[in-house]
Amino acid sequence: MMKNDLAGAPPEQENAAKESRVKKGLTHIWRALSHNWGWKIASLALAVCLWGALISQDTALPRDKIIEDIRVSVTNSAAPRNNGLIVVSGLDELDSVSIRASVPQRNYTTAGSAHYSARLDLSQIQTVGEQTIKVTVTTVNATQYGTVKEVLNPDVTVVVEELESLSGIPVEVRREGEVPEGYFAAAITRSVEFVDVSGPKSVVEKISRCVLTLDQSSLNPNRSPNTVSLAFTFEDMDGNALDGSRLTVTPQGQSTAITRITVSQEVYYSTQVPIAVDALYKGEPAEGYAVSSVRVTPQTVTLAGSKAAIAPYQEEGAALYPFDQVDITGQKSTVSQLLYLNTPGNMEYISNNAVQVVVTILPEMFVNVDTGEVTRITEQNP
């Protein structure tokens, strides 16, 4: 029945005719697909192989590849300082980045992180506070390793502060440990007396001093002068340590940054020499008076110098004598006098060149306030 013959036909009859035509069409399609189906599958497989062969022969065709662990380098690091700013956090441990790159097929296998350059440009920083800057990645050789399509983790968050400078901070050397016995450590000299600093305002405005710590327990005269290069720290007025990791430090009035300061100290052999107390005074006190005691301050003097210079003063019975003596002739009361010592001239250090001598003179007969007895001084135990 033709379509025109269905005009005016009941709806049921018209629907049945349409279903019949659909079934005939599907049957025709299935016959066309199922006829020689083996050849058709083989033809499809051959087409795929031919396509693959053509693709593999054209090594210039690009393929997407994920490249990981590309190290990030910082560029224009001076830009924030030029704008009076400084980054205080966010740059210490920069993560590597990953990218999606379009790589020519001939270098697909060999393309790796070394063939791409990741940079964090600090000229993006324009103000203080927390801010996010982006990493950019380029190909070292675009002809061989294609182009970067996407940076997968480009954001770096940094914290920025105002840059502050301070000049003329004193350098203080603190000693720790004990100088080995038998040695004497002379005054300390340092290569830098004052420093200038610049850095985060929150730190710089608190700085009071630059501190070096010198361990004296390993000093040795055999390598005198003992010279060491020491790292330094910074403290506030109350002695609290400050974070100096973001500070730029230069010797006062100079422009070359430093991270250490050289300290030098001369070290000598030393010995303690007693004062000869048997020759500190001369003469006799007035009649009826006697010498009760003789005191000398200090009782010993430190000599320091070469091993050969101090050797005679390390012998048993060695002593130092004053140039003069306290004259007590005719005295009725205590006499105190400063006496200069006859010290050797080949020493590097002498702790005292004079001593204070006190000769106590009392009447030969005096009252003991505890017992009420009258006792002669000469009868007293020394």
Q: Looking at the structure, do residues 137 and 179 belong to the same domain, yes or no?
A: no
Q: Looking at the structure, do residues 139 and 170 belong to the same domain, yes or no?
A: no
Domain end residue (candidates: 269, 301, 326): 269
Q: Looking at the structure, do residues 246 and 230 belong to the same domain, yes or no?
A: yes
- Average model confidence (pLDDT) for the chain? 86
Domain end residue (candidates: 56, 80, 106): 56
Domain end residue (candidates: 238, 269, 300): 269
- What is the C-alpha to C-alpha distance for residues 333 and 320, in angstroms, rounded to an integer? 27
- What is the C-alpha to C-alpha distance for residues 79 and 121, in angstroms, rounded to an integer? 9
- Tell me, yes or no, whether 8 lies in a domain: no
Q: What is the pLDDT of residue 60?
A: 66
Q: What is the pLDDT of residue 369?
A: 45
- Tell me, yes or no, whether 14 lies in a domain: no
- What is the C-alpha to C-alpha distance for residues 256 and 294, in angstroms, rounded to an integer? 61
- Tell me, yes or no, whether 286 lies in a domain: yes
Q: How many domains does the chain have?
A: 4
Structural domain including 29 reads 23-56
Report CA torsion sign: 329, 334, 338, 341.
positive
DSSP-assigned letter for residue 224: -
Q: Looking at the structure, do residues 44 and 68 belong to the same domain, yes or no?
A: no
Q: Looking at the structure, do residues 234 and 284 belong to the same domain, yes or no?
A: no
Q: Looking at the structure, do residues 28 and 94 belong to the same domain, yes or no?
A: no
Cis-peptide into 298, omega within 30 deg:
yes
Q: Looking at the structure, do residues 229 and 323 belong to the same domain, yes or no?
A: no
CB burial of 134-170 (b: ≥16 within 10 Å; e: otherwise) equals: ebbbebeeeeebbebeebeebebebebbebbebeebe
pLDDT in tens, 255-297: 999 999 999 999 999 999 999 988 899 999 999 888 888 999 9
Cis-peptide into 11, omega within 30 deg:
no
- Do 281 and 359 touch, CB atoms closer than 8 A? yes
Q: Looking at the structure, do residues 187 and 241 belong to the same domain, yes or no?
A: yes
Q: Looking at the structure, do residues 374 and 280 belong to the same domain, yes or no?
A: yes
- Do 200 and 161 touch, CB atoms closer than 8 A? yes
Q: Looking at the structure, do residues 259 and 281 belong to the same domain, yes or no?
A: no
Q: Looking at the structure, do residues 280 and 242 belong to the same domain, yes or no?
A: no
- Tell me, yes or no, whether 1 lies in a domain: no
What CATH number has the domain bearing residue 66? 2.170.120
pLDDT < 50: residue spans in the chain: 1-3, 6, 367, 369, 372, 380-382
Q: What are phi and psi of 381, to 5 degrees?
A: -70, 140
Q: Looking at the structure, do residues 76 and 107 belong to the same domain, yes or no?
A: yes
pLDDT in tens, 188-235: 999 999 999 999 999 999 999 999 999 999 888 888 889 999 999 999
Closest CA to 156 of 127, 121, 191, 203: 121
- Tell me, yes or no, whether 91 lies in a domain: yes
What CATH number has the domain bearing residue 186? 2.170.120.40
Write out the two tokens for 105.
Answer: 């097929």
Q: What is the pLDDT of residue 11?
A: 61
- Tell me, yes or no, whether 12 lies in a domain: no
Closest CA to 311 of 278, 344, 282, 335: 344
- Tell me, yes or no, whether 349 lies in a domain: yes
- Tell me, yes or no, whether 18 lies in a domain: no
pTM: 0.65
